[in-house]
Amino acid sequence: MINLIIAAIISILIVIIIFILVFIIIIYNRVIQLDNNINKAWSNIEVSLKQRYNELPNLIRTVKGYMTYEKDLLKTITKARSYLSKVDDFNKKAAANEIISDSLKTLFAVVEKYPDLKAIENFSHLQRRITALENEIADRREFFNECVTIYNIRILSFPDFIVARKIMKAEKKQLFKATEEEKQLVKINL
């Protein structure tokens, strides 16, 4: 009789241990999946940024002949583009990309002064292409932030935080945020 009770207790303990291990494995795999989703989302942002990076020299060459006094704006775009190719830090890349985005908005506004430039098919195509890329980048940043939010909620929620924070040492990820300067109204000098 005692052997039967001991066998039942051991069986129950084995089932509990198996349940706990399966639970830990499921949480572990889910956190890994969410972390990979964040990396994928950031890589998708970088793909769009690379496309924009490749398109900018064409836009600048097209516009240069028409815009003499706006050369500082073109220099800012070129400098930010050059800096972007040299940095690996996420926050520095984000800041450089925001400078490019803001400069492009200003550039497209300034182009209104040059009706001949707006009529050039090549410029119009480039403007549409870069505008589409800017919209794509914004969408991808939003998706990145969604992935980060889901990940952060998961690693901070009970009981997942036990596996994520204590066993895996998972840390909260930072959302893609605009700086205070980037939140200000863009000033356009025409």
Per-residue model confidence as pLDDT tens digits over 92-108: 777 777 777 777 777 66
Indicate the number of domains in the chain. Answer: 1
- The residues, any chain, with a CB within 8 Å of residue 34's CB and separated by 6 or more, are 147, 150, 151, 154
Given a cut of 90, whether residue 14 has pLDDT beyond it is yes
Q: CA 120 to CA 106: how far, in whole Å? A: 19
**Percent of the chain whose predicted confidence (pLDDT) is above 70:** 73
pTM: predicted TM-score of the whole model, two decimal places: 0.62
Buried b (16+ CB within 10 A) or exposed e, 79-107: ebbeebeeeeeeeebbbbbbbbbbbbebb
65 lies in some domain: yes
Given a cut of 50, whether residue 189 has pLDDT beyond it is no
Higher pLDDT, 177 or 172: 172
Which residue shows structure tokens 């060459």?
61
Q: What is the mean pLDDT of residues 9-38?
A: 92
Q: How confident is the model at residue 76 (pLDDT cuts 50, 70, 90)?
A: confident
Lowest mean pLDDT across 2-16, 54-68, 140-154? 54-68
25 lies in some domain: no
Given a cut of 80, whether residue 19 has pLDDT beyond it is yes
Mean pLDDT over each residue of the chain, to the nearest integer? 77
CB 34 within 8 A of CB 151: yes
Q: How far is CA 114 from the centre of its chain?
A: 34
Domain holding 178: CATH number? Answer: 1.20.1440.20
68 lies in some domain: yes
Give the other-Cβ count within 10 Å of 119's Cβ: 9
137 lies in some domain: yes
CB 131 within 8 A of CB 21: no
> In the prediction, which pLDDT does 190 show?
32
| pLDDT tens digits, one per residue of 113-140 | 666 655 566 667 777 777 888 888 888 8
Sign of the C-alpha dihedral, residues 133, 138, 141, 143? negative
> In the prediction, which pLDDT does 12 show?
94
Given a cut of 90, whether residue 10 has pLDDT beyond it is yes
39 lies in some domain: no
> In the prediction, which pLDDT does 147 show?
92
- Structural domain boundaries enclosing 132: 49-183
Q: What is the mean pLDDT of residues 16-34?
A: 92
